[in-house]
A and B are shown apart, each in its own frame.
Chain A
Amino acid sequence: MRTGAYLRRLAVAGAGALLVPQLGAQTVAITGATVYPVSGPKIERGTVVIRDGRIAAVGAGVPIPAGAERIDATGRWVTPGLVHTGTDLGIRLLRTGGSRETREDSLAGDIKAAFNVADAIDPAALTLPVARLQGITSTLAVPSTGLIPGQGAFFDLAGERVADLVAKSPAVMVIDFSESAKASAGGSRGAVLQKLRRVFRDALEYDRRRDEFRRGQIQPLAAGAEDLEALRPVLRGELPVLAIANRRRDIEAALDLAQEFGLRLVVQGGAEAWQAAAQLARARVAVVVEPLTDVPRFDALAPRLDNATLLRAAGVMVALAQRDDAHFRNLRQAAGNAVRNGMTWEDALRAVTLGPAEVAGVADRYGSLEPGKVANLVVWSGDPFEFSSRAERVFIRGRQVPPVSRQTELLERYRTLPPAY
């Protein structure tokens, strides 16, 4: 009870910080920076003009509109805001001792296709300001646990109400093909596929015979009507499947199932994806790689740090992501390590901006600095992947977010001891 009240108070304080009115015009011109639009080559001494939450112009020698707020970014680097994939930002905090009170990302049961995490996001979640300080401006947040954990949603990491920050919902249907799904299916990888096939067939059946279903003139189906209904866009190839799979065999099983049922597929994890690179390239299936994964498990006995590099070399589209115990703050470290292990810097930048926007199906609005796109961008003191660099200014939907979090407040409180309370 007390913890809950405390968290709520903090949440209100966090929201308060966000409500600081944005001074100045709605038009902002960032000038003099090295601009990495991702959609095109880098621009030296470039200008980015933001108007009404969108990018209005990008280039060298772009005219600056009258009345625009000017930000001199000489010597700075400007990139699109980083996009993190497969996170629990906004839907989960504590892992133990209080996890129930701070966890919204998981339901009981095995088939939860109708569950959408967008309905669970808390715009005041304490993780969001922490991630923003590292230049992360949006995320594909996903549900967890079960064979079909549910629907993921893509949202911006700033906004007062859920409706203000969600950009695409649902963005993906999460389906688990890995070790962690086995228990939900009865204990074997074979049963995972068997159960998924039955659920998919029943979803098609339900779609064809919903009247009979309502009248009860149909055999019991493998999932509830709501969940079967939610699978409809998946089986029409409209809503992509984010397939959690690490073992080569599981990746191939997901590819086969996708072909059988006409699914659009993205692989999440893919620790052994480098072994299936040619098939993934042929099927045009993207992989969300965690580039720091190299410890063997029976789920994947052959992970390697240059997984992303090998996949790119085979022509596979890659997004980078990384789970970490600092609440998904270390995406740029993950990207830096991908470069350390052979990926080109440009590929790595794409894999934390436009790549994940493609995975979430929002590349028309996110992931690059192009006129008309949502103005999520970061002014960095230097190379965004280096620890020595800092996100100096972070813009989300055209507004600069205050560089504060609960942690910056703790720092200031304890910077000199004893603290002044």
Chain B
Amino acid sequence: MALYENIFIARQDLTTSQVDSLVDRFSSIVTAQGGQVTKKEYWGLRNLAYPIKKNKKGHYVLFNLDAPPAAILEMERNMGLSEDLLRHLTIKVEELETEPSAMMQSRNREYSREGSFKPRSENADSEMEINPIDSGENS
């Protein structure tokens, strides 16, 4: 079976539970055709670099797939039909990443930076300082 990466962007006004149901739906399509979803990553509601269908934000989801081409075709077809999706991209890869992708790692890096800041501020107020920084960098 071939290895694929798939990313799709869901509409901004969906709730996270709706996104979860989408994830379940697409992964069940793949598994039904004899494929495997080796990794699922939810990147959260991210700002889009440019508006797509009047959306400024989107829920990003990453799949790592090990599936036959027929399963990918069926999943892509369903993604195209779904009105909740803004974009989807499937790429054939040589190797699947087992670790969290660059997107998740960069988020962790931010956390680790905060960790290094914490000892300096010492007091309980540090939490108050950290939160605005966090939201600013994510947006």
Bound pair (A, B): no
Report which A residues bind B (CB closer than 8 A). none
